[in-house]
Each structure stands twice: as C-alpha cells, then as structure tokens.
Structure 1
C-alpha cells in the first residue's frame, strides 16, 4: 500500500508544478495558458514542458505566458513572443520547415544509409565466401579449427 501511495505521488508530481498563485481567475484563459504551456520546453529541464517543470525559470515563463494571454494575445501570438524571446529551442515540437526540415529528415536518412551499407557489406562478404573453391573452403575450415564437411 505504501508503494502504491509513493507511485501515485510521483505520477501526480507534475500537477504541483503550477503554483496556485499563477492560476488565472478566468477558467477559459487558464485552460488556454495550460494548453500553451504544455507546448513550451523548460530550458532547465530539457524535455519537460514548462507546465510540468518546477524550475524557477519555468515558473517565470508560465507567468509571462499568462501575462501575454491576459493582455489579449492569440495563442499563436503568445507562442511567437516566446520563440522570439527564447529562440526556437523553447518549442517542444519545433516547426518542420526551413532549416529544421534538415534536422527532421537527417535521422531517417542516416538510418536508411546505414541499412544500405550494412546490406551491401553482408552481401559482398557472402559473395566472397561463395566464390571459394573446394580446396580453399577446406583450407579455411582447417584454419578456423572446424572439421571440413
């Protein structure tokens, strides 16, 4: 039972990230702020959103975001402001256009190249082994310490 309580507390810890003093009075604006803060990366915690992070910088970002929303910014205006101020790194899911397109495509392309190189290497080694004469195969088996067929 004690373990279950600890696990539940650990799973609920992101709920404690937003300080009650930060929460907006208008539930609609607060919902927008929570939604947008889940799209922004905490610069301290790396792969945590500012909504989940307890870092002081994440708290400041949440406050700035809420100030922008209260000031009347649209969701895109608020996100654009954060990107202009902190760089594109602040987005958890960066845009997939321009220079970022290279970054998004680099991993699959490198994987494809590695698979092709691996396949051709294995195929080339197999062809070399198949091209041996019977005497060469027997000699190879003798060197490797296996009994000849």
Structure 2
C-alpha cells in the first residue's frame, strides 16, 4: 500500500505543522522503539504522522491526539507517560533509590564522625 498522504508531506499552515511536529517528537515509533514517529521511516510511523497531521488540521488539540494514541496503543507510545496505576513506579522507584542512597550516606557519615570522637 502507498504511504498515507500526510506521512511525508507537511501541512501548509506553518503554525499547525509546528504543533504536529512538536507532538510527533514526543511519540514513540512502535516498530523502531528508539525513534520518535517524526524520525522513523517505518510505515506505521508514517501512518501515525498522517493521523497526527490530519487531526491537527481538523482542529483537534495535541493533548487530545496524544490521549487518543495512548488509548489506542498504550502508554508505551508516549515518551512522556502520564501518572497512572501502571506508570507510577516509573516515577516512584528513582525517588525511593535516591532517598535510600541519601540515608545510607547519612548513616555512614554519622559513623565516621562518631569514630573520630572516641
């Protein structure tokens, strides 16, 4: 099948194209996994670019488009996952590790200052 019309063609309105481009850079290509849909040449990324541009041109807001894509493909499609029951560990685990490291450092430093006094 030929690529979707807006897979490789930009919108004529530069403001709308800028909105589309900004959104596409925050969405992950589901086939490439390490590229945004803005950078990927995969056919699926082209279809997603087409959807983004078509919806932007129709007046839909970028966050509504992101929500639609996340609903359709899951949280993995977004480089900026929203806080939810499935994604909270992404935010909590680093914080817990930092707090644990600070606690261990504090205890170790406390022991050293206590040893110097004896």
Shorter-chain TM-score above 0.5: yes
In structure 1, C-alpha distance between the alignment counterparts of 2:15 and 2:106, rounded to whole Å: 55
What is aligned with 1:83? 70
Computing the radius of gyration from Cα coordinates, the structure with the larger value is 1
In structure 2, C-alpha distance between the alignment counterparts of 1:79 and 1:66, rounded to whole Å: 12
In structure 2, C-alpha distance between the alignment counterparts of 1:83 and 1:114, rounded to whole Å: 34
In structure 1, C-alpha distance between the alignment counterparts of 2:72 and 2:22, rounded to whole Å: 19
Structure 2: runs of 5+ lacking an equivalent:
1-5, 108-118
In structure 2, C-alpha distance between the alignment counterparts of 1:111 and 1:77, rounded to whole Å: 34
Does the aligned pair in 2 maintain the 1:47–1:92 contact within 8 Å?
no
- Higher-RCO chain (CA-CA 8 Å, sequence separation at least 6): 2
TM-aligned CA deviation for residue 56 of structure 1: 1.6
Q: Say whether 1:55 aligns with 2:56.
A: no
Does the aligned pair in 1 maintain the 2:8–2:46 contact within 8 Å?
no
TM-score scaled by length of structure 1: 0.58
Aligned residues: 113
Q: Say whether 1:93 aligns with 2:88.
A: no
Does the aligned pair in 1 maintain the 2:29–2:45 contact within 8 Å?
yes
Alignment of 1:65-144 (within 5 A): 65-110=52-97, 112-113=99-100
Listed one character per residue, the Cα deviations across residues 50-107 of structure 1 (whole Å, up to 9, x for unaligned) are 1111222111110111111122211111111111111111101111344322222113
In structure 2, C-alpha distance between the alignment counterparts of 1:97 and 1:21, rounded to whole Å: 33
Does the aligned pair in 1 maintain the 2:11–2:53 contact within 8 Å?
yes
- Supply the RMSD in Å over aligned alpha carbons: 3.1
Give the direction of change, closer, same or farther, for the CA distance of 1:88–1:20 in structure 2 (3 Å limit): closer
> 1 or 2, which has the higher helix percentage?
1
